Amino acid sequence: MIDHVVLGVHHLDESRHFYEHALRPLGLKVVITGPEMIGFGDDSGRPFFWLAVREPTHRVHVAFTAADRAAVDAFHAAALHAGGVDNGPPGLRPHYHENYYGAFAFDADGNNIEAVCHRPA
């Protein structure tokens, strides 16, 4: 089991803006901040997804679980509105499995961020 993930970013404020908006539909928010790090988590208050000012990561793929397909749709719209670049619109990906419903966006550092729901419609 993974405890946490840290992405290195060029510009913390720009990245924070993107992730705050993109992850909000998935029930995630900033739960801790520091001068060079931001931790995102859920209502438990435990951060598990971090942004840190350091050599930026590139081409990392992080997938977040969505409660339902509407949350995947909302994630994608919010990510693009916050400056993300489309890397795959919401939809079924039956080559993974019959109920794999996902959407993808690149962040400012080129990381592929995904929201996915595995439940039937």
pLDDT classification of 19: cutoffs 50, 70, 90: very high
The DSSP line for 9-44 is ES-HHHHHHHHHHHHGGGT-EEEEE-SSEEEEE-TT
Segment 22-45 mean pLDDT = 97
Q: Rounded to whole angstroms, what are the CA distances from 53 to 12, 14, 15? A: 6, 11, 10
pLDDT classification of 58: cutoffs 50, 70, 90: confident
What pLDDT shows up at residue 36?
96
What CATH class has 5-52+60-117?
alpha beta
Task: Give 92-117 pLDDT, tens digit per residue.
Answer: 999 999 999 999 999 999 999 999 99
What pLDDT shows up at residue 1?
80
